[in-house]
Amino acid sequence: MDFTHVLLLVVAGLAAGGVNAVAGGGSLITFPSLIATGLPSVDANVTNSVSVFPGYVSSVVGSRADLAGQGRRLRGILPVSVAGAALGCALLLLTPARAFELIVPFLVLGAAATLAFQERLRGLVGHPRQMSHQKVTLQAVVFVGAIYGGYFGAALGVMYVAALALILDEPLNRINALKNVLSATVGLVTVVVFAIFGPVHWGAVLTLAPATIVGGYVGARVARRLPARVLKMIIVTFGTVVGMVLLYQAVS
């Protein structure tokens, strides 16, 4: 990589770390940046997954105050998250990607719409306090999201926030903190699997990863100070943009 490529990856890492902490979808910044440095698409996807993991960890640190009282919930869903992420990684390494690429944009757009119309949907499915089998529903959502995250991961945060906001009776900032932990868990699995079996370009990782750490921590601190309505608007807007870009890429 020349100096221009290094500078591009540093800027992309800072932006992606912040976006992942606030809304999710930062991989849509880093993935094309890696492509721009000359990496093949699969190599860029694998390298990107490894690179953004430290940013997820720093997001957890930045939002740790909003995790108070959620320890029991996390202990119940983290094993499911690990299993789903491992399955997603296996799908990426062992199967053709075309069919999943066509589905992903609609999943992202659906997640953004779910969050945008959260209150109306609650009127149809019931308030979280009234839900039966809430624990099973939560684990199913975490599992499906982790599969997606292990496979590609762009806008995983948007999808998690949208679904968790329907299931859990929690303020959005606490749900966002929970999303950060789940994203970091999925990221850890992808690091382990891809480091062993995937075509990781470690020079690019060493450039991107430190930038995502800084961006993730700053983004998480900013997210904690945003009013719930503003945070929701940012997540919905970014999720819609991500979904439309992915749809354009899938059909072009």
Binned average pLDDT, 10 residues per bin, the chain of 252 residues: 89 85 75 86 85 87 89 93 95 80 81 75 58 78 92 79 84 88 94 90 93 86 76 78 83 81
Token pair 């440095």 in the structure block, residue? 37
- Nearest CA to 153 out of 199, 211, 107, 207 is that of 107
Confidence at residue 235, expressed as pLDDT on a 0 to 100 scale = 74
Confidence at residue 23, expressed as pLDDT on a 0 to 100 scale = 67
- Between the alpha carbon of residue 219 and those of residues 70, 82, 170, the distances in Å are 21, 25, 21
Spell 58-78 as b/e; 16+ CB within 10 A means b: bbbebbeebbeebeebeeebe
> If phi over 0 gives left and psi between -120 and 50 gives alpha, with beta otherwise, what is residue 49?
alpha
Q: Residue 106 and residue 118: Cα distance in Å, rounded?
A: 17
One-letter amino acid identity for 179? K
The distance from CA 44 to its chain's CA centroid, rounded to whole angstroms, is 17
Structure tokens at 171: 């303020």
- Nearest CA to 59 out of 108, 24, 111, 86 is that of 24
Confidence at residue 16, expressed as pLDDT on a 0 to 100 scale = 83
Q: Following CA atoms 212, 214, 219, 224 in sequence, which dihedral angle do they give, to the nearest 10 degrees? A: 130
Q: Which helix (H) or strand (E) holds 95?
A: none
Based on its alpha-carbon atoms, the radius of gyration of the chain, rounded to whole angstroms, reads 17
Confidence at residue 204, expressed as pLDDT on a 0 to 100 scale = 93
Give me the phi and psi of 23, to 5 degrees please.
-135, -30
E strands, the chain, where? none
Confidence at residue 130, expressed as pLDDT on a 0 to 100 scale = 56
Confidence at residue 44, expressed as pLDDT on a 0 to 100 scale = 85
